């Protein structure tokens, strides 16, 4: 089923929400997100419905512990897209700057809560900031997003469902992309620790229409 540009934006904003740290603010919006997701084609709707069911039936403390264990403690499921290509190296600063510049040129207020290459931030930008530039950023980093999805599947994490819905908004896999993924997976992120400061994973989105 063909997915429209409006449905792509809806799917990306919903997944941006669901990839934030699961606090009470997110849980309080599950019904709203569930309603919005109903308009999506099944390739995005079905995985998101599974994940929303998980949020509805699992204690929040358990969800939060799982989120921290998956995204904060295991680099193989890193949600920062430039980490997959640049690791903790000096090159990563320049890669993140490209995201920031794209946001600034589009008048998108990133705020200070999260690094510019966090998948949630890129998804929100693509949904409500600049769809053309956001789509280009996501497509350029489709390899890392696929690797994140594969890592989450291996960890039996329900967050794989959310990333599956993200992938449904991107172009189909090509042989070139598959080879690039294999190269990244085999080599792993470059290592050169430069002391990047950790950033808060608290969500900064206030409504499904934008940030606080």
Q: Packing angle between helix 159-167 and helix 5-18, nearest 10 degrees?
A: 160
The pLDDT-based confidence of 58 (bands split at 50, 70, 90) is very high
Measured CA to CA, the distance from residue 145 to residue 177 in angstroms comes to 11
- pLDDT given for residue 40 in this prediction: 95
C-alpha gyration radius of the chain: 16
Task: Give mean pLDDT, residues 6-19.
Answer: 95
CB 56 within 8 A of CB 162: no
Q: Is the pLDDT of residue 153 over 90?
A: yes
What residue ranges define each of the domains in the chain, with the CATH number in brackets? 5-187 (1.10.3480)
3-state secondary structure of 190: coil
Q: CA-to-CA distance for 158 and 50, rounded, in angstroms? A: 8
| DSSP state letter for 70 | I
The per-residue pLDDT for range 181-198, each reduced to its tens digit, is 455 444 444 444 333 333
CA angle, 116 then 148 then 69, to 5°: 85
State the pLDDT at residue 112: 67
Contact residues for 17 (Cβ-Cβ < 8 A; gap 6+): 26, 29, 33, 120, 203, 205, 208
User: Would you say residue 102 has pLDDT above 50?
Assistant: yes
Q: Is the pLDDT of residue 22 over 70?
A: yes
């Amino acid at each position: 089923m063909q997915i429209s540009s409006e449905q792509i934006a809806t799917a990306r904003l919903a997944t941006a929400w669901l990839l934030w740290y699961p606090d009470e603010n997110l849980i309080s919006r599950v019904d709203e997100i569930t309603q919005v997701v109903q308009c999506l084609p099944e390739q995005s709707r079905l995985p998101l419905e599974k994940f929303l069911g998980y949020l509805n039936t699992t204690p929040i403390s358990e969800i939060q512990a799982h989120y921290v264990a998956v995204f904060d403690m295991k680099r193989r499921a890193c949600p920062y897209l430039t980490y997959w290509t640049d690791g903790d190296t000096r090159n990563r600063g320049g890669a993140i700057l490209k995201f920031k510049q794209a946001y600034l040129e589009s008048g998108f207020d990133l705020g200070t809560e999260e690094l510019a290459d966090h998948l949630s931030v890129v998804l929100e930008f693509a949904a409500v900031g600049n769809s053309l530039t956001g789509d280009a950023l996501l497509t350029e980093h489709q390899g890392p997003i696929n690797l994140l999805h594969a890592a989450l599947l291996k960890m039996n994490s329900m967050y794989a469902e959310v990333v599956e819905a993200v992938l449904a908004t991107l172009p189909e896999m090509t042989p070139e992309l598959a080879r690039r993924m294999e190269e990244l997976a085999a080599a792993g992120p470059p290592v050169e620790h430069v002391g990047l400061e950790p950033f808060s994973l608290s969500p900064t989105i206030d409504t499904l229409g934008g940030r606080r």
